Amino acid sequence: MESKNVAVLGAGTMGHGIAELAARASWNVVLCDVSAEALERARKAIKESLAATERLGEGGSAAVLERIKCTASIGEAVRSADLVVECLPENLEFKRSIFRMLDETCPPEVILASNTSGLSPTAIAEGLNHPERVVVAHFWNPPQLMPLVEVVPGEKTSPEVVERTMDWVKALGKEPVRMKKECPGFIGNRLQFALLREALHIVEAGYADAEEVDKAMIYGHGRRLCVTGPFLSADMGGLDVFHAISSYLFADLSNASESSRLLQKSVEEGHLGLKSGRGFYDWTPEMKEKIVRLRTETLREFLEKDRKDQQDVDS
């Protein structure tokens, strides 16, 4: 891309995180949201995130903030954009209406990316004049701290758009994962929900409590999977061993095709987790502060390790 201008639509958690990432990478960013309050919260969150990053220093933080402009007008946001990232609610018809507007407003060479966590890019691009420039760039939450970005083409997405999107993600310092074709939930959420389905089944069947399931993951797989994914783990453990275990265990795993009754009951009772103060855990202010801080510190440590590892490779 000759210039470096990006428009981010939606100033929520994902939107302001992506705006921060782009500004850190020296892109000019226009962050758009119809809510002035959302934009103000986003600006505050970005300032706090930058302040927590010691390597930037005070001058660096000011430079990053100067590269982020805010507006309530989509037209103004995309006027000079080389790439647009949509971070709006997960409603297909709403996204379609936004992309129709973008398709009519933006020149054909502008990439239109959606941060959807599972909706079809083909469905989002349906009926557009230029569906070839629509792609998914699914950042993981929190985007400032999670390296993964899933790049997902629709049926009509051009290979050039996929390559340009991959290059942009790399320029942000993130790790893009290219999918050959789309599927519901992409890679990450399919794996995440397969794990959640079995975790719920273990609790519902009375095998163990939720806290014990979490501990098994944190102190077992969680320590290993940050280095070796499922295929590397299987290779290292021996495919003959994994084949033998799967021959009897697969038949006993949950194959539920509907949401868990345990999950449904919690939602019906208004126990939504952190956002409501109660879910599988009681989220006291002290617990919230502890877990959020621990997650942030751990993810920052991993990012710093990634940075040092890359420096070693480059040198």
Which residues are tagged catalytic? 117, 138, 150, 189
Question: What number of other Cβ atoms are within 10 A of residue 188's Cβ?
Answer: 17
Order of strands across the sheet that contains 134-139: 68-71, 28-32, 5-9, 83-86, 111-114, 134-139, 148-153, 175-178
**Tokens representing 86?**
């949509």
CB 88 within 8 A of CB 98: yes
* Cα–Cα distance measured from residue 315 to residue 309, given in angstroms and rounded to the nearest whole number: 10
Distance CA 68, CA 80 (A): 14
Number of residues in the chain: 315
List the structure tokens of 178: 């290219």
Dihedral sign for Cα atoms in the order 111, 115, 116, 118: positive
Residue 140: which of 74, 186, 195 has the closest Cα?
186
**DSSP label at 239?**
H
What the block records as the tokens of 299 is 């993810």
Q: Give me the phi and psi of 145, to 5 degrees please.
A: -115, -20
